[in-house]
Structure 1
Amino acid sequence: MLDAIETYLALRRTTGFAMSTAEYLLKSFAAFAAERGQTYVETKTAIDWAALGPSVAQRDARLRAVCRFVRHVRVEDVGHELPPANHFGARKKRRTPHIYTTDEISRLVEAALRLRPTRGLRPHTQATLIALLSSTGLRISEALKLTIADVTRDGLLIRETKFRKTRLVPLHDTAVAGLQRYLARRRPGSDDDPVFIDKRGRPLRYIAVKETFDRLVDKAGIRSTSARRPRLHDLRHTFAVRALQGSPTGRGRCGAHMAALATYMGHVNIYATYWYLEATPDLLRDVAMAGEAFMSEGRLA
């Protein structure tokens, strides 16, 4: 079974998936099955192994890892049994994002510019980072990995992203101007130097950005409508929602806009982009009205 697992992992990695978690899980399952003298996947064994997970979500993830492997290997060897992927009945729950208003983003940037030392680089670093995230929808990890060489005439070159893909993110003229002002103040050295640095000139760390951002949210007087506080990652959600709100009219054009947004944001699966509809009441209302019209009159609204 291990040879089949290695072949499966190698194939998936050639398509851009890291597969580190899958490798750990599948090799753990193979060892578990070997203890029972099994060289093929059997449903009961897969469920028994998955049930060792400490939570329903983890048990579900373990079993689904085996199911994905079996779907691949059964193309050549039907001796493997395919377990029911939803055996544990787990459902992924996404946290409701805070959608920032234009005024709230402006207040965050203004609060960042008041950080100390007022004549140092730190206020401009934090303000530029917030402005860039809100205007591009980048993941914070992508922004912090940017080097001077990644800032090109055509936009930002985002290398080896979450799904090991590289993409080019175009910038609005105002974003270009703001980034260039920051770089002039920052006085970059070589092309390999990071764009965003701390006071010692080292790459800015996520934990430092998060802690500062949480304080800025309080200073800007931003309150969430839910029990959880607004997050740094919600700037990405906000960008996607505003992009969908400004999409062209017409179902066909809106569908094309959705596909373009998925590519722009670096989503490996368009279903991740469709989720942003749920975070936008007016867009979700439009989807509901279209569904109601189709069910009652047999037409799309």
Structure 2
Amino acid sequence: MIAPALRDAVERWQDGLSALDGSAGATLDAYRRDVLGFLAFMQAHLGGLATAGGLAAVTVGDMRAWMAAERGRGIAARSLARELSAVRNFVRWAARREGFDPSVILSARSPRFRRRLPRPLDVDSARAMLDSVDSQASRPWVAARDLAVLTLLWGCGLRISEALSLTGADAELPQTLRIRGKGGKDRLVPVLPAAARAVARYAAICPYPLGVDGPLFRGVRGGALDQRIVRGTMERARMQLGLPATATPHALRHSFATHLLEAGGDLRTIQELLGHESLSTTQAYTSVNSARLMDVYAKAHPRG
């Protein structure tokens, strides 16, 4: 059981994250679990840890023991790297308040793992996906709704949570849409005419009144549309089309970025459109393009 003072410290740290960074609830919950798990281990490993200041006693060997224990529980290298990132964030915050040297914990080396490349759909598959979704639902307004949501993901590069956060005030999409993304950061996204038409078509036949403050996209009972419904719609469409399991709503956002890059878009602009904080995240799409180019080369070259 974790000491009350440690739990209080974690709560204060999370309050600060929420206020300053605007971190999403699910992200905060994951951070909380990661840090509490680390503190519980250290409390048992060190034979007691009453306050965050006690982390000053943590050694390199203690950090290795924690990471070994996590791997022993079956935690993958990628997940352990995420846990370590949360722990570092908390310890950095605690060190400023408790006045201890956090260098041992902050310098702990993350486990190496192969970064997964985005799995975008090619243009033909993305179009086929939208066509399939448009003809899938038995109710015309539901089909129009699903098509509008997925068109926003592919045509504007929105995250599914961003698309579903739109309100009735957005029923007539402007040429440029202001989106609040991760960390509460705003970005401006150009709206393609196809996306504006798809949303307008849905709004015109939706059987529920779309008040300016209410959700734009509605479920069949009139409440806010759930992400799981959108994922299920795409799952049925990809099975119908014989597409891989990686053909998810988020793959349409990846497709937006990849198709822009293939059309000559520069990385900095794509970074801004996607709302990536780091350019290195956006650079993953150059690896996708390189992988595709080598695949085409291997199949087309006469000596391939």
Does TM, normalized by the shorter one, top 0.5? Answer: yes
Q: Report matched runs for 1:133-152 at 5 Å.
A: 133-151=153-171, 152=173
Cα gap change, 1:204/1:46 in structure 2, threshold over 3 Å: closer, same or farther? same
Q: Report matched runs for 1:40-55 at 5 Å.
A: 40=56, 41-53=58-70, 54=73, 55=75
Q: Which residue of 1 aligns with 2:194?
A: 174
- Give the C-alpha shift of residue 222 in structure 1: 4.4
Q: Structure 1: which 5+ residue stretches go unaligned?
A: 249-256, 286-301
TM-score (norm 2): 0.73
Secondary structure of 2:158's counterpart equals coil
- Residues 1:203 and 2:224 are matched in the alignment: yes
- Give the C-alpha shift of residue 265 in structure 1: 0.9
Q: C-alpha deviations, 1:71-113, integer Å up to 9, x for none?
A: 56667956334245336x3314415514222x33332233223
Cα gap change, 1:26/1:99 in structure 2, threshold over 3 Å: closer, same or farther? same
- Give the C-alpha shift of residue 261 in structure 1: 1.5
- Give the C-alpha shift of residue 68 in structure 1: 4.3
Note the aligned Cα RMSD (angstroms). 3.2
Give the number of aligned pairs: 269
* Kept after mapping to 2: 8 A contact 1:67/1:82: no
* Kept after mapping to 2: 8 A contact 1:217/1:230: yes
- Residues 1:239 and 2:256 are matched in the alignment: yes
* Kept after mapping to 2: 8 A contact 1:163/1:268: no
* Kept after mapping to 1: 8 A contact 2:175/2:192: no
Cα gap change, 1:123/1:11 in structure 2, threshold over 3 Å: closer, same or farther? closer
Q: C-alpha deviations, 1:221-270, integer Å up to 9, x for none?
A: 3444xxx452222111111011112235xxxxxxxx32222121121222
Q: Structure 2: which 5+ residue stretches go unaligned?
A: 295-304
- Residues 1:99 and 2:121 are matched in the alignment: yes
- Residues 1:22 and 2:31 are matched in the alignment: yes
* Kept after mapping to 1: 8 A contact 2:165/2:215: yes
Cα gap change, 1:200/1:24 in structure 2, threshold over 3 Å: closer, same or farther? closer
Distance 1:203 1:153 in 2: 22
Q: Report matched runs for 1:8-87 at 5 Å.
A: 9=14, 12-13=17-18, 14-18=20-24, 19-35=28-44, 36=46, 37=48, 39=54, 40=56, 41-53=58-70, 54=73, 55-57=75-77, 58-70=79-91, 77=99, 79-83=101-105, 84-86=107-109
Distance 2:134 2:10 in 1: 52
Q: Which residue of 1 aligns with 2:302?
A: none
Q: Which residue of 2 aligns with 1:276?
A: 285
| % identical equivalent positions | 27
Distance 2:246 2:109 in 1: 32
Q: Report matched runs for 1:221-232 at 5 Å.
A: 221-224=241-244, 228-232=245-249
- Residues 1:162 and 2:171 are matched in the alignment: no
Cα gap change, 1:92/1:16 in structure 2, threshold over 3 Å: closer, same or farther? farther
Cα gap change, 1:59/1:125 in structure 2, threshold over 3 Å: closer, same or farther? closer
Q: Report matched runs for 1:184-203 at 5 Å.
A: 184-186=204-206, 188-203=209-224
User: Bigger relative contact order, structure 1 or 2, given CA contacts below 8 A and separation 6+?
Assistant: 2
* Kept after mapping to 1: 8 A contact 2:34/2:83: yes
Greater fraction helix: 2
Distance 1:60 1:105 in 2: 33
Q: Which residue of 1 aligns with 2:135?
A: 114
Distance 1:172 1:229 in 2: 25
Cα gap change, 1:82/1:133 in structure 2, threshold over 3 Å: closer, same or farther? same
* Kept after mapping to 1: 8 A contact 2:117/2:288: no
Which amino acid in structure 2 is aligned with residue 29 of structure 1? F
- Give the C-alpha shift of residue 48 in structure 1: 2.3
